[in-house]
Amino acid sequence: MLVARYAGGPPDALRVALSGDDPSGVARTLRYTGYVSRAAAALLESYRAAIAEAERLGRDAEERRARLRAIAEESRGKRASLVAERREKRRVFDRVGREVRAGRKEIRVLRADEARLARLIEGIGRVIYGRVEKVPEADDKRQPFSTLRGKLRLPVAGELTGRFGAPRGASGIEAKGVFIRAREGEPVRAVAPGRVVYADWMRGFGNLLIVDHGEAYLSIYANNESLLKQVGDAVGAGEAVATTGASGGNEESGLYFELRHLGKAFDPLRWVKLK
C-alpha cells in the first residue's frame, strides 16, 4: 500500500471514482492511507523536534566550550599573575633581607665605633683625671669651663643637620653629638681654652681632635679634613684647630662635635649661643 501510494502519488477523488475499484476497498485504502500519513506526519514532527533539540544541545555545548575556554584563559592569566606576584614578592623579600643585613652591619659598625671612642676617652680620663680639679691651677688664668654654660660658640659656622640624641641614619642609634654641615676647608675653632689630648685618625670619626678644658670637660671635633694642632698644644677660645671635611665616612662635609663630662656626652646646644 505504501509502495502504491508513493508510486502513484496521492489519490484524488476523480481518479478513485473512475478507477472501477470496489468502493468499499477504496474507502478502506484511503483510511489506511490516512493512518500512514498521520503516522508519517507525527514521525516527521518528532524528527523535527529531535533536530531542534540536537541543534539546541549543540549550541549549549558550544557555549559551554566557550565558557570553558574563557575559564581556562582566565586561569592561565591568573596563574601568570600569581607567578609574577610571587616573583615580585621574592624580589622584595630579597631586597628587604639585604637592607636588614646591611642595617645590622651598619649598627654593629656604629656601635663598634662608639665603643672605640668611649674606650679612648676612658683612657684619656685615666691619664689626666686621676683627680678632678675643682679650681684651675695656680698658673692657669682660664675661666672654669663649668661657668661657660650658655656662653660658648659653635666651633664652625654652618647648617645644623644632626642633633644630640637623634637617630643616626637607619641604624636608630642615638647621636652623642651634633653634626654641622659646612663647606670643605672651613676653620674649626676651639669652643674654649684648653689643651689638645688627642689628634689622630679614627675609624668612624675620621681626623679626630680632642681638647681638655679642665674639670673633666672634653670637646671633641671629628670628620675633619686636616688637623692643625698636635697633642700637648695649648689652644685658646676661637683658635682654629682643624678644617672641615668628610674624613669620617659622612656623605656630607662638615663637623661632628661632642661635649663630654667625666666621659659622658651631653647636649652641646644647651651650652652654646646659637645666635
Structural domain ending residue among the three candidates 61, 93, 111: 61
Q: Are 158 and 255 in contact (CB under 8 A)?
A: yes
In angstroms, rounded to a whole number, what is the distance separating the alpha carbons of residues 260 and 238? 19
Q: Average pLDDT, stretch 246-255?
A: 84
> In terms of domains, do 139 and 265 share one?
yes
> In terms of domains, do 46 and 165 share one?
no
Q: Tell me the torsion sign for CA atoms 18, 22, 28, 29.
A: negative
In angstroms, rounded to a whole number, what is the distance separating the alpha carbons of residues 193 and 141? 10
Higher-confidence residue of 241 and 250: namely 241
| Residue pointed to by grid coordinates 674654649 | 192
> In terms of domains, do 142 and 57 share one?
no
Q: Average pLDDT, stretch 34-50?
A: 87
In angstroms, rounded to a whole number, what is the distance separating the alpha carbons of residues 264 and 275? 26
Helix (H, G, I), strand (E, B) or coil at 189: strand
β-partners of residue 145 are: none
Structural domain ending residue among the three candidates 45, 61, 77: 61
Residue 53 counted as domain residue: yes
> In terms of domains, do 149 and 261 share one?
yes
> In terms of domains, do 57 and 149 share one?
no
- State the number of CA atoms in the 13 A half-sphere of 258 facing the CB: 25
The three three-digit cell numbers of residue 27, written as one number:
474507502
Strand pairing class (240-244; 234-235)? unpaired
In angstroms, rounded to a whole number, what is the distance separating the alpha carbons of residues 104 and 93? 16
Tell me the one-letter amino acid at 21. D
Q: How confident is the model at residue 265 (pLDDT cuts 50, 70, 90)?
A: very high
> In terms of domains, do 151 and 21 share one?
no
Range of the domain at 39: 2-61
Higher-confidence residue of 25 and 59: namely 59
Q: Average pLDDT, stretch 246-251?
A: 79
First and final C-alpha spacing in the chain: 130
> In terms of domains, do 133 and 262 share one?
yes
For the stretch 100-142, pLDDT in tens is 566 556 777 778 888 888 889 888 888 876 644 443 443 456 7
Residue 72 counted as domain residue: no
